[in-house]
Structure 1
Amino acid sequence: MLGIGLGALVGATVLAGPARAQETKDARDENMIIVTAQKRASDIQDVPLSVAAVTSSTLEKSGVNTIEAVQTLAPGMNMSAIGSGFVSYTYIRGAGTNVIDAGSDPSVAFFQDEVYLAGTAGLQFDLLDVERVEVLKGPQGTLFGRNAAGGAISIITKRPSHEFDAWAAADAGEYGLFAVRGGITGPLADRWAYRLSAAHRQRKAFTDNPAGRDPGSIDNYTGRGQIMYDGDDLTVLLTGEFFTSDNGMTNQFISTADTASLLTPEAAAAQPADQSFYRRYYDVDGFEKQNLYAATGRIEWDLGPVLLTSISAWRDNHFKRLQDQDGSSADAYALATDASDKTFSQELRLSGESDRFEWIAGLYYYNGKTERIDRLDSGPDFAPAPLRNSLGIYGQNIKAISYAAFGQATYEILPALKVTLGARYSKDKKRSNQDTDPIGLAGALQRRTDPRMEQFRSCCDRAI
Structure 2
Amino acid sequence: MICRSYPKRRAIRGASLLVLSMLATAAHGQQAETPAPQDDRNADIIVTAQFRSTNLQDTPLAITALTGEQLADRSFNNIADVGRAAPSVTLRLASSGYGKSTQAYIRGIGQTDFNFALEPAVGFYVDDVYHASLFGTSFDLLDLERIEILRGPQGTLFGKNSIGGAVRLISQKPRDRFEASIEGTYGSYDRIDLRGMVNIPLVAEQLALRLSFASKERDGYVDRVDFACAYPQLAGNLTPTVSQHGNSCKLGTLGGESVRAGRAALRWTPSSDIEVNLAAEIIRDNSEGAADSLIYINTAATALVNHNNNRLIPAYGIPYDGRFIVDPYVSFASYDSKFLGREVPAVNTVHSESYSGDIAWNITENVQFKSITAYQKFNGRFTQNANNAPLPVALTDNIAGFEQFTQEFRVVGTSFNDMLDWAAGVFYFEGDSTLGGGAYLAASNIGFDQNDSTHAKNRSAFAHGTLHLTEQFSLTAGLRYTKESKSYRFDRVNVPAGTPFFAGGAFTSPEAEMDRVDYKIGLDYQLTDRVMVYGQFSTGFKGGGINPRPFTPAAAVPFGPETLNAYEIGLKSDLFDRLVRLNLAAYHSDYSNLQLSANGFDNNGAPSIVIANAGSARINGVEAEMEIRPARGLQIDMSASYTDFKIKDLGAAAGVSGGPTLDSKAPGVPEWKYNAGIQYRAELGNGGSLTPRFDVYYQSRLFNEWTNNPRAAEDGYALANARLTYNAPDEEWYAALSVTNLFDQFYYVNRFIQSGTYIFTGQPSRPREWAVTVGRRF
**How much does 1:80 deviate?**
2.1
**How much does 1:436 deviate?**
3.1
Q: Percent same amino acid among aligned pairs?
A: 28
Q: 1:146, 1:228 → 2: CA distance?
A: 26
Q: 2:160, 2:86 → 1: CA distance?
A: 22
**How much does 1:269 deviate?**
6.6
Aligned to 2:118: 104
Q: 2:211, 2:100 → 1: CA distance?
A: 28
Q: After superposition, where does 1:283-362 map in structure 2 within 5 Å?
A: 283-284=334-335, 285-304=345-364, 305-353=366-414, 354-362=417-425
Q: 1:176, 1:340 → 2: CA distance?
A: 31
Contact 2:372–2:409, Cα closer than 8 Å, also in 1? yes
Matched residue type, 1:296? S
Q: 1:274 to 1:32 in 2, by over 3 A?
A: closer
Contact 1:336–1:374, Cα closer than 8 Å, also in 2? yes
Q: 1:48, 1:120 → 2: CA distance?
A: 28
1:57 has 2:69 as partner: yes
Contact 1:259–1:268, Cα closer than 8 Å, also in 2? no
1:270-293 Cα offsets, whole Å, 9 max, x none, are 997794223322212411111010
* Greater alpha carbon shift after TM alignment, 165-174 vs 26-35: 26-35
Contact 2:51–2:412, Cα closer than 8 Å, also in 1? no
Contact 1:92–1:137, Cα closer than 8 Å, also in 2? yes
1:214 has 2:253 as partner: yes
Matched residue type, 2:428? Y
1:181-224 Cα offsets, whole Å, 9 max, x none, are 11010201131001000001121111122343311111111110
Q: 1:299, 1:29 → 2: CA distance?
A: 36
Q: After superposition, where does 1:150-169 map in structure 2 within 5 Å?
A: 150-169=164-183
Q: 1:73, 1:253 → 2: CA distance?
A: 28
Q: 1:269 to 1:160 in 2, by over 3 A?
A: closer
Q: 2:298, 2:266 → 1: CA distance?
A: 54
1:232 has 2:293 as partner: no
Aligned to 1:241: 281
Q: 2:387, 2:64 → 1: CA distance?
A: 41
Aligned to 2:191: 177
Matched residue type, 1:127? L
1:409 has 2:465 as partner: yes
* Greater alpha carbon shift after TM alignment, 145-154 vs 219-228: 145-154
Q: After superposition, where does 1:124-203 map in structure 2 within 5 Å?
A: 124-190=138-204, 191-203=206-218
Instruction: Say which one has the larger Rg.
Output: 2
Q: 1:398 to 1:444 in 2, by over 3 A?
A: closer
**How much does 1:99 deviate?**
4.0
Aligned to 2:695: none
1:88 has 2:127 as partner: no
For the residue of structure 1 that corresponds to 2:83, the secondary structure is helix
For the residue of structure 2 that corresponds to 1:254, the secondary structure is strand
**Root mean square deviation, CA, Å:** 2.5
Contact 1:213–1:248, Cα closer than 8 Å, also in 2? no
Contact 2:120–2:134, Cα closer than 8 Å, also in 1? yes
**How much does 1:86 deviate?**
3.5
1:437 has 2:493 as partner: yes
Q: 2:40, 2:428 → 1: CA distance?
A: 38
* Greater alpha carbon shift after TM alignment, 358-367 vs 28-37: 28-37
Contact 1:65–1:126, Cα closer than 8 Å, also in 2? yes
* Greater alpha carbon shift after TM alignment, 274-283 vs 228-237: 274-283
Contact 2:404–2:430, Cα closer than 8 Å, also in 1? yes
**How much does 1:362 deviate?**
0.6
Contact 1:275–1:281, Cα closer than 8 Å, also in 2? no
1:42 has 2:57 as partner: no
**How much does 1:105 deviate?**
1.3
For the residue of structure 2 that corresponds to 1:72, the secondary structure is helix
Contact 2:154–2:164, Cα closer than 8 Å, also in 1? yes
Q: 1:256, 1:306 → 2: CA distance?
A: 61
For the residue of structure 2 that corresponds to 1:68, the secondary structure is helix
Q: 2:139, 2:376 → 1: CA distance?
A: 13
Contact 2:394–2:443, Cα closer than 8 Å, also in 1? no
1:243-277 Cα offsets, whole Å, 9 max, x none, are 11111213332344256737634344799779422
1:426-456 Cα offsets, whole Å, 9 max, x none, are 1112222112335687x969xxxxxxxxxxx
Aligned to 1:121: 135
**How much does 1:50 deviate?**
0.5
* Greater alpha carbon shift after TM alignment, 349-358 vs 76-85: 76-85
1:279 has 2:330 as partner: yes
1:215-239 Cα offsets, whole Å, 9 max, x none, are 1111111110011102311100110
Q: 1:269, 1:90 → 2: CA distance?
A: 34
**How much does 1:44 deviate?**
0.6
Aligned to 2:28: none
**How much does 1:107 deviate?**
1.2
- Indicate which of 73, 98, 122 corresponds to 2:85: 73
1:10-42 Cα offsets, whole Å, 9 max, x none, are xxxxxxxxxxxxxxxx88997110001111111
Contact 2:428–2:459, Cα closer than 8 Å, also in 1? yes
Q: 1:376, 1:240 → 2: CA distance?
A: 35
Q: 1:424 to 1:258 in 2, by over 3 A?
A: same
**How much does 1:125 deviate?**
2.3
